[in-house]
Structure 1
Amino acid sequence: MAWFLWNNRNASHVLTLWKPLPPSRYKTNVDGAVFKERGQCGIGVVVRNDKGQIMGALSKTLPYPLGALDAEAKATEIGIIFSWELGLREIILEGDFQIVMNAIASHDPGPIQIQQLVTSIKSWVPKFRAWKTSFTRREGNKAAHLKAKHAKLISECTIWVEDTPPIIMSQVLNDVTDLGFSPV
């Protein structure tokens, strides 16, 4: 089940859940979190195969303040480099900040504050055999969001490879249960 539609008095909303992808492709979900009270940011990356199984995940603390847009762009840069380092060559780069995803997919460099990061990301994408960006709402990016928030609890960076981090275990199970896959 990929999405639901529900209505309320004021508007229709689409609730987006994690969506499966074509065989032999990998989805790299990215998210950034801003910890204003600490003057830090958190990065979350979750990479899955076409069955929803974790290929790699990371939480990373950035010891400097960024705004939400900058944190999302930095998460995207870290996510694409992480995917490459995992040896993946066909990816869908997905995040919940549409401005960042659009800037990567188009000739528009995006807002000036993220242009350097967008340029860096665009220098990585030609290395992949196949790639595309995808925007999803927060509901479709929950695992990466949890990893970004988890960064508040670590000192630098934690990485999992082919193992599901406990902090996102139930979310990963929820994401793929209706698809008939076993993510762990």
Structure 2
Amino acid sequence: MNKHARDYLNKFKGTQAQLAVSANSGLIQAWRPPTGSVYKLNFDVAVLANTRSSGVGVVIRNSLGEVMAGLSTYGPVVASNEEAEVLACRKVVEFAIDAGFMDLMIEGDNAMVMKANVFPRLDRSRLGHIYDDIRTLAAGFRSLSVGCIKRSANSVAHSLARYASHLEEELVWLEESPPPAPDALYLDASLLNDE
């Protein structure tokens, strides 16, 4: 009985040590504005557990951090998180083109999807044709860069993606702050002002 208790205690201590390391290594990343005349598009997707449908949130901001456009929309039923993210990525690229943004930096928090858009390759996977669509659409931008960020730097888009679960049709905001995300926008602005 003592050996079992000692083993259990050692396992508990080891688990606590691992948790402490992972909590400290996950530094919070803040949203940063783009430079010059480039606009930054942040997007996120939320998979709604009860229906497996997705919600997509998008915010496009300028170098001052001002909202130029926002989108919250209810997405299709998806089979996986990767499918939700890649469909959202295609949707946001289409949205940016329709809204007239030609110089863009796109950031999302799914490393696999963002990497696939940076390093084009022949993709014969089930989702390969969607990645091809994104690359074809992206060729229409004057300048485009793609990056991956942590969720902490993507909170406005995340708020809009979660809000989509309450929608029956998409909501678009042009040159106004999206009402579903005031706290996230305030936090981003306050972190910029602290520098």
TM-score (norm 1): 0.88
**How much has 1:73 moved relative to structure 2?**
0.9
Identity %: 28
* Residues 74-130 of structure 1: per-residue CA shift (max 9 Å, x gap): 111111111111111100010000001000010235682321211111001111111
Q: Is the 8 A contact 1:29 1:94 kept in 2?
A: yes
Describe how 1:1-184 pairs up with structure 2 within 5 A: 9-11=20-22, 12-109=25-122, 112-180=125-193
Segments of 5+ residues of structure 2 without an aligned counterpart are: 1-18
Higher helix share: 2
**Distance 1:134-1:111 versus aligned 2 partners, 3 A rule:** farther
Segments of 5+ residues of structure 1 without an aligned counterpart are: 1-7
**How much has 1:33 moved relative to structure 2?**
1.1
Q: What is the rounded CA distance, in whole Å, between the counterparts of 2:174 and 2:124 in structure 1?
A: 33
**Distance 1:176-1:158 versus aligned 2 partners, 3 A rule:** same
Residue identity matched to 1:107: P
| Partner-residue secondary structure (3-state), 2:180 | helix
Larger radius of gyration: 2
**Distance 1:66-1:52 versus aligned 2 partners, 3 A rule:** farther
**How much has 1:63 moved relative to structure 2?**
4.0
**How much has 1:65 moved relative to structure 2?**
3.1
TM-score (norm 2): 0.83
Q: Is the 8 A contact 2:73 2:161 kept in 1?
A: yes
Q: What is the root-mean-square deviation of aligned Cα atoms in Å? A: 1.8
Higher strand share: 1
